[in-house]
Amino acid sequence: MNTSLSKENLRVPQSLLCKAPASMMLFGEHSILRKGKAVVVAVDRWLSVEIRSQEEKLIEVISSFGRKRCPCNKISLNPSLRFVEAALKRFQPDGCSITISSDIDPTMGLGSSASVSVAMMAALSAWTGQSWSKEKLLEETISLIRSVQGCGSGADAASIIYGGVISFDGKGASPLVSSLPLVAKYCGYKTPTPQVVAHVATKEKQFPNLFSTLFSSIDTVTNEAISAIEKEDLPLLGECMNRADGLMHALGVGTLELSDICWRLRKEPTIFGAKISGSGLGDCAIALGSLQKECLPVSSQGVILQ
């Protein structure tokens, strides 16, 4: 298995497989969009992109949304595959068949859009004979995501590329640890991230001084959490999660369901702390610790080319 992002020896490939893990944000939601830091974790759930050559000058995409064929110079896919379409337009590959398969639940806030974006960019860069570093892959993937949805910190993409638990400052990633004991609980619904970001921006205009303080406080907690991770101090890290959760509610992105999940988790003797994960107004709560037969498997590996 080749875990390098480079495929220098693959001049005219017949097939290529790229696998990308899922991801979740632990700290830094919303403040990361305002020059703060984030802590993100790669999750051991995987999305695969397999590219095969074909003689016809057509692009064929096979996924859970069905099968679509289109000319290489007129790429048009299902709106649900907008990140795939954007990546294909970025590289304009010759005739090929692309099969996308995934065990990442797109309803659970596990960064499925970032996973498919990273996998497509890594696979297509190798397929077209380019040798990209992880830093280049991250830069290009963030640009792709922002071109499609108009915003995006790049934190999910960074964790997917590097694996394990990382800190991210909007430009580069720093590895922290390979794993943490985590539990994730889905609240039953989600709100698209761009909508949540717009909601927070509206509230920020109403209360600019208050929200400036809140974003600064979120970044302070994030830095405290990074220090706790480096010290392997799980009780302190759990307290950081609890404080960060309160700040998320202060931003107005908490919900009754998420709050109920977090409080129930905190009552468990084996849980150190719990908070909203991601932008909020739905998706998952995440907790530090363990529950019987329940865990969030962390992937120490990032994106893989085979």
Q: What would the pLDDT profile of 178-231 be if each residue is shown by its tens digit?
A: 999 999 999 999 898 889 999 999 999 999 999 999 999 999 999 999 999 999
Ranking 13-17, 50-54, 214-218 by mean pLDDT, the lowest is 13-17
Q: Which pLDDT value is given to residue 5?
A: 55
Does the structure show a pLDDT above 70 at 70?
A: yes
Q: Which pLDDT value is given to residue 6?
A: 43
Q: Which pLDDT value is given to residue 7?
A: 43
259-276: average pLDDT: 96
- The residue range of the domain holding 189 is 182-289
**Residue predicted with more confidence, 104 or 232:** 232
112 touches 145 (CB < 8 A): no
Cα angle 117, 141, 132 (rounded to 5 degrees) comes to 110
Determine the 3-state secondary structure of 212 from DSSP. Answer: helix
Does the structure show a pLDDT above 80 at 12?
A: no
Q: Is residue 9 very low, low, confident or very high in pLDDT (cuts 50, 70, 90)?
A: very low
- What's the number of domains the chain is made of? 2
Residues 160 and 284 in one domain: no
Q: Which pLDDT value is given to residue 13?
A: 64
Please give the C-alpha separations between residue 162 and each of 40, 136, 213, 233, in angstroms, as whole numbers.
Answer: 10, 12, 31, 23
Residues 30 and 153 in one domain: yes
DSSP letter at 297 equals P
161 touches 141 (CB < 8 A): yes
8, part of any domain: no
Q: Tens digits of per-residue pLDDT, 136-176?
A: 999 999 999 999 988 788 999 999 999 999 999 988 999 99
4 touches 305 (CB < 8 A): yes
162, part of any domain: yes
295, part of any domain: no
CATH classification at residue 103 = 3.30.230.10
Residue 131 has a CB neighbour count (10 Å cut-off) of 12
Which class for 123: exposed (0-12), middle (13-18), buried (19 or more C-beta within 10 A)?
buried
Instruction: Name the average pLDDT for the chain.
Output: 90
Q: Is residue 8 very low, low, confident or very high in pLDDT (cuts 50, 70, 90)?
A: very low
Residues 171 and 276 in one domain: no
Question: Token pair for residue 234?
Answer: 């799980």
Q: Which pLDDT value is given to residue 33?
A: 93
Percent with pLDDT over 70 in the chain = 96
Residues 156 and 39 in one domain: yes
Q: Tens digits of per-residue pLDDT, 75-101?
A: 888 888 999 999 999 999 888 999 999
